[in-house]
């Protein structure tokens, strides 16, 4: 079904029209800054009590916590829940973490992205739909708020108006550059969901300037070594062995454990895989050789 894209002139006006504003936090820098902009609009509209944060976990694929020189650096999920959400002023009871699961032998168990890829015998690649974003993130976040929709509808005439806040930026890729700041993603009798990209026109330099000037916490993977604060590590904070990451980031910072899991998964694919190995043993990579177009580049 095609949903018309709404037209909004002012973020404050948009925020005021929402019953819920859901800020998606991956643990990365862009989501946090997008959240700051969205929260500022919500406060101006007097609806900051309607703001929630959400983290869609991809399980073992996410950047883990590490301990270096006696200092523990949080995982992506921990950073989103314990520091980013609080930095936005959202109380713990309004943060949700979701993770996909399935039933095995009558019991619900976590279902991780690598298992899914191995079972399909197919890796995501640039130029196709992003396997990790739809059923693994967006759908799970929507489902988490279904009980609230049911409860609030008893007090509201018509569908509940939701804002789904994401940290996507035009500078990241051609596909994201062509996205609109506001886009209707779901429209039914129970709920209307409009996607909102507050940082769409914000540059990487501006994101970092705002992060550093405000003293905001950011994930250790962005540094060449935890604690250096040089921001010379990974340029993205998604999965630690992201199937859509560029070559540099994989060689520089992919964790050995995650990389080994990716290699094992790649070997389940019948056509075989190309393995790239950092000579110092810091990263390994398996990607489909026959179906990935062009050189590795930013996902």
Give me the pLDDT at residue 126, please: 52
Q: What distance in Å separates the CA atoms of residue 64 and residue 266, rounded to the nearest whole number?
A: 21
Residue corresponding to tokens 């590795």: 296
Q: What distance in Å separates the CA atoms of residue 154 and residue 282, rounded to the nearest whole number?
A: 54
Q: Which two tokens stand for residue 225?
A: 């070594």
Q: What distance in Å separates the CA atoms of residue 294 and residue 240, rounded to the nearest whole number?
A: 22
Could you give the residue ranges of the DSSP H alpha helices within the chain?
A: 11-16, 29-45, 76-78, 85-87, 113-120, 139-144, 146-153, 174-177, 204-213, 247-253, 256-266
- Return the number of other C-beta atoms located less than 10 Å from residue 151's C-beta: 11
Please give the angle made by the CA atoms of 46, 48 and 49, to the nearest 5 degrees: 110
Give me the pLDDT at residue 277, please: 33
pTM reported for the whole predicted model: 0.81
| Among candidate residues 238, 218, 178, 185, the one with its CA nearest the CA of residue 36 | 218
User: Angle between the 204-213 and 29-45 helix axes, to the nearest 10 degrees?
Assistant: 70
Domain boundary assignment for the chain: 11-196, 218-287
Contact 236, 28 (CB under 8 A): yes
pLDDT along the chain (299 residues), means of 10: 66 95 94 96 97 90 88 94 94 92 90 78 58 75 87 87 93 86 90 94 96 94 91 82 68 62 64 35 32 29
CA gyration radius for the chain? 20
3-state DSSP call for residue 98? strand
């Amino acid at each position: 079904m095609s949903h018309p894209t709404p037209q909004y002139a002012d973020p404050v006006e948009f925020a005021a029209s929402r019953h819920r504003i859901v800020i998606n936090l991956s643990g990365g820098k862009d989501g946090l800054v997008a959240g700051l902009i969205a929260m500022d609009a919500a406060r101006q509209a007097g609806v900051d009590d309607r703001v929630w944060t959400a983290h869609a976990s991809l399980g073992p694929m996410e950047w883990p916590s590490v301990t270096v020189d006696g200092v523990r650096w949080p995982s992506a999920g921990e950073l989103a829940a314990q520091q980013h959400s609080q930095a936005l002023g959202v109380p713990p009871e309004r943060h949700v973490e979701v993770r996909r699961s399935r039933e095995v032998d009558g019991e619900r168990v976590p279902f991780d992205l690598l298992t899914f890829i191995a079972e399909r015998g197919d890796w995501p690649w640039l130029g196709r739909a992003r396997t990790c974003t739809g059923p693994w993130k967006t759908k799970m976040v929507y489902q988490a708020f279904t009980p609230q929709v049911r409860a609030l509808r008893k007090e509201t005439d018509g569908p509940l108006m939701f804002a789904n806040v994401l940290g996507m930026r035009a500078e990241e890729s051609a596909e994201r550059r062509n996205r609109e700041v506001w886009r209707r993603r779901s429209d039914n009798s129970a709920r209307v969901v409009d996607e909102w990209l507050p940082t769409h026109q914000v540059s990487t330099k501006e994101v970092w300037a705002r992060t550093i000037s405000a003293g905001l916490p950011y994930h250790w993977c962005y540094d060449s070594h935890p604690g250096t604060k040089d921001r010379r590590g990974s340029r993205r904070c998604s999965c630690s062995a992201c199937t859509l990451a560029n070559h540099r980031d994989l060689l520089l910072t992919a964790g050995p454990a995650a990389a080994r899991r990716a290699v094992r998964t790649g070997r389940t694919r019948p056509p075989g895989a190309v393995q790239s190995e950092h000579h110092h043993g810091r990263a390994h990579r398996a990607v489909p050789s026959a179906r990935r177009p062009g050189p590795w580049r930013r996902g």
